[in-house]
Structure 1
Amino acid sequence: MKKKLASVVLAGVMALSLAACGGATDKQAGPQAGDQAAGQGDQKKEQIVIKFSHVVAPDSVKGKAADKFAELVAQKTDNKVKVEVYPSSQLYGDKDELDALVAGNVQMIAPSVTKMVKLDPRWQYVDMPFLFKDEEHAKKFFDSDAAKSLLNGQALQDNDILGLAFWENGFKQFVNSKHPLKTPEDFKGLKFRVQAGKVLESQFKSLGAGSATIPFGETYAALQQGTVDGTENTFNNIDTQKYQEVQKYMTVSNHGRLDYAIFVNKPFWESMPADIRAKVEEALKEATDYELQMAAAENQTSYDKLKQAGKLEIYELSDADKAQFEKLMEPVYSEFSNVITPELIDAIKNLK
């Protein structure tokens, strides 16, 4: 995998000039002529720049947390470090941001964790159907040894990536344009947009539905044009991406998770002076606390907005409904238990 990423890095380096790629520092104008006359000299300040790329809207949970992080870094470092946030795939989309991080074209990303499957298949844990019971269960995982084992995984280290924190998005729900989805039978013959990963393909296959891997930034168009019939996402993403404009039905299922993790380019991160890096890490911790507190509230607000707008016909699965889906999806666990590892799955199930 590292060879594959290395080839992408080489291609990126050849295609982009140093100026286009940006870098770890940004030279700012020094003193003016009047200052020179005062004997202050023609000195220049160096400002460390962190390019932070993500694919969701600025008003999403992740978007707001990224902006908060930028604000905190400026405060805590006295503007010695500047975080430039690029939302909505402005710099890189789902397919490219990981390679851009390895290349050093950006210094920080916050992808949906399943984007990391190209390095470590265990990151598909989040797609295992009905693995997490509720929000409290998910937050316990973020602080667990099992979570740390993923952030510190050897595959990431081998590709000069550091995992620093988990950010919550929430439970996924189904939306589609054809008809209400109340039973597994209702999924047959439909096609859904999914993130990359074999677990999601297997999930929809178990329901008799098809799937297509489409970048997040292209999902609205795919739904609008009928390339796919539906998708799965959190209340907040459904709301902020305005899927209700091109979908008719939503099923509240809480069948899987969509969460993020913060990754940085390791050589860049370790090149920062230790005292400055400590302040940036402090800012990230505060931004993470802010994000985790905000996520549940924002999802509830988005759910309320979706209900009030009246554009979606909404059905909430009962416990009996969920039992039908869980039974039908048992083959997903049989197929992927060894890939994700029984140790990780059991560690999540047994969190207390």
Structure 2
Amino acid sequence: MKRSTLAALSLAIATTLGAGLAAADPIVIKFAHVVAENTPKGLMADRFKELVAERLGDKVVVEVYPNSQLFGDDKVLEVMQLGDVQLAAPALSKFSRYTDVLALYDLPFLFEDLHAVDRFQQSEAGQGLLKSMEKKGLIGLGYLHNGMKQLSSSQPLRVPEDAKGLKFRIMASEVLEAQFEALDAAPIKKPFSEVFTLLQTKAIDGQENTWSNMYSKKFFEVQPYITESNHGLLDYLVVTSTEFWNGLPDDVRDTLKAALDESIAYGNRIAYDKEAEDRQAIIDSKRTEVIELTPEERAQWVQAMRPVWKQFEDEIGADLIDAAYAANQE
């Protein structure tokens, strides 16, 4: 056989083998989030990793990066569109750069409990919001609960006047900013990863968060008071880039979506349980006093914060706000 023929044959074999190896390379999904592994989000992410390994084997590898190890929520959506991260679950407040309508979930005293949240999110209106950012290159894949938000502070908060002049850490959200301004308090936008230090050093006076976040991040150890206000919702949107998601093979995408739906349902069940468990763990620690509001005291907080709805009605949509509020009565 001529040398030229042998060379051509060798090149063809090498090319074929190379193509085979390339085809065998797994799809890597980096799932970045900012909370601890023992939170509803952290446990959901780990469950998703397990299910994908069971069902797709070496075809897809999920890498989970908790505790802001890879990116914080303020950066992750940007790098997602560059292909550096494939999945994240930022708080719904984090999407204000991409759409106005998800600010609905930041409105104070909109939902009475997580059951009302579930009813709205599974409705046609709630599911429609998952697609509100497709033109911006992002697609929502599902809602994940953390829980209802409480107020922690360096001093007791029983009525709205008690918050006057205090500095509260918030996520980057105009609605949350307006919420604390309605109390004549000072909202301070800071990353979640900095909250414990800010509280410990008294750079801020308080913050709003769920029982599971306050317990897992030990905020209760550096805050003498927590007011059980249930004034807001902290939910997450499991999100990916439209380019990545639509570029997957159909069978892989379908399997991933099914695994994600199961994982989110698993995380949401944990969220329900952890609200009660972590609340009790904080009380049992005796490191902080949990203040339970009387109906009359809570009504004062509602009255103080409710004008925020009207302030953002044009951006969010009055019909959408009405639909969400109606979920409380079903």
Q: Distance in 2 between matches of 1:118 and 1:289?
A: 28
1:286 aligned residue: 262
Q: Distance in 1 between matches of 2:88 and 2:289?
A: 35
Q: Distance in 2 between matches of 1:59 and 1:67?
A: 10
Residue 290 of structure 2 corresponds to residue 314 of structure 1: yes
| Contact 1:73/1:79, CA 8 A, preserved across alignment | no
| Contact 2:40/2:268, CA 8 A, preserved across alignment | no
1:142-161 → structure 2 map (5 Å cutoff): 142-153=121-132, 156-161=133-138
Q: Distance in 2 between matches of 1:73 and 1:55?
A: 21
2:326 aligned residue: 350
Q: Distance in 1 between matches of 2:321 and 2:284?
A: 37
Q: Which of 68, 71, 83 is equivalent to 1:92?
A: 71
Q: Distance in 2 between matches of 1:227 and 1:97?
A: 26
Q: Distance in 1 between matches of 2:276 and 2:41?
A: 15
2:41 aligned residue: 62
Spell out, residue by residue over 1:42-95, the C-alpha distance to the aligned partner (whole angstroms, 9 max, x if none).
853211110011111111110010000010011111231111000111111122
Residue 139 of structure 2 corresponds to residue 172 of structure 1: no
| Contact 1:102/1:159, CA 8 A, preserved across alignment | no
Q: Distance in 2 between matches of 1:134 and 1:65?
A: 21
| Contact 1:57/1:241, CA 8 A, preserved across alignment | yes
1:109 aligned residue: 88
Q: Distance in 2 between matches of 1:257 and 1:78?
A: 36
Spell out, residue by residue over 1:199-224, the C-alpha distance to the aligned partner (whole angstroms, 9 max, x if none).
11111111121110001111111111
- Structure 2, unmatched stretches of 5+, are 1-16
Q: Secondary structure at the match of 1:96?
A: helix
Q: Distance in 2 between matches of 1:103 and 1:126?
A: 27
| Contact 2:81/2:241, CA 8 A, preserved across alignment | yes
Q: Distance in 2 between matches of 1:151 and 1:323?
A: 32
TM superposition score normalised by structure 1: 0.85
| Contact 1:163/1:264, CA 8 A, preserved across alignment | yes
Q: Distance in 2 between matches of 1:118 and 1:224?
A: 31
Q: Distance in 2 between matches of 1:245 and 1:253?
A: 19
Q: Secondary structure at the match of 2:188?
A: strand
Q: Distance in 2 between matches of 1:142 and 1:288?
A: 13
Which one-letter code corresponds to 1:231 in the other structure? Q
Q: Which of 104, 111, 116 is equivalent to 1:137?
A: 116
Q: Which of 253, 262, 267 is equivalent to 2:229?
A: 253
Alignment RMSD (CA, Å): 1.3
1:184-263 → structure 2 map (5 Å cutoff): 184-263=160-239
Q: Secondary structure at the match of 2:156?
A: coil
**Displacement of 1:140 after TM fit?**
0.7
| Contact 1:49/1:84, CA 8 A, preserved across alignment | yes
Q: Distance in 2 between matches of 1:103 and 1:299?
A: 36
Count of aligned residue pairs for this structure pair? 309
2:101 aligned residue: 122
1:304 aligned residue: 280
Q: Percent identity?
A: 39
Q: Distance in 1 between matches of 2:290 and 2:91?
A: 25
Residue 49 of structure 2 corresponds to residue 73 of structure 1: no
- Structure 1, unmatched stretches of 5+, are 1-40
Q: Distance in 1 between matches of 2:129 and 2:218?
A: 32
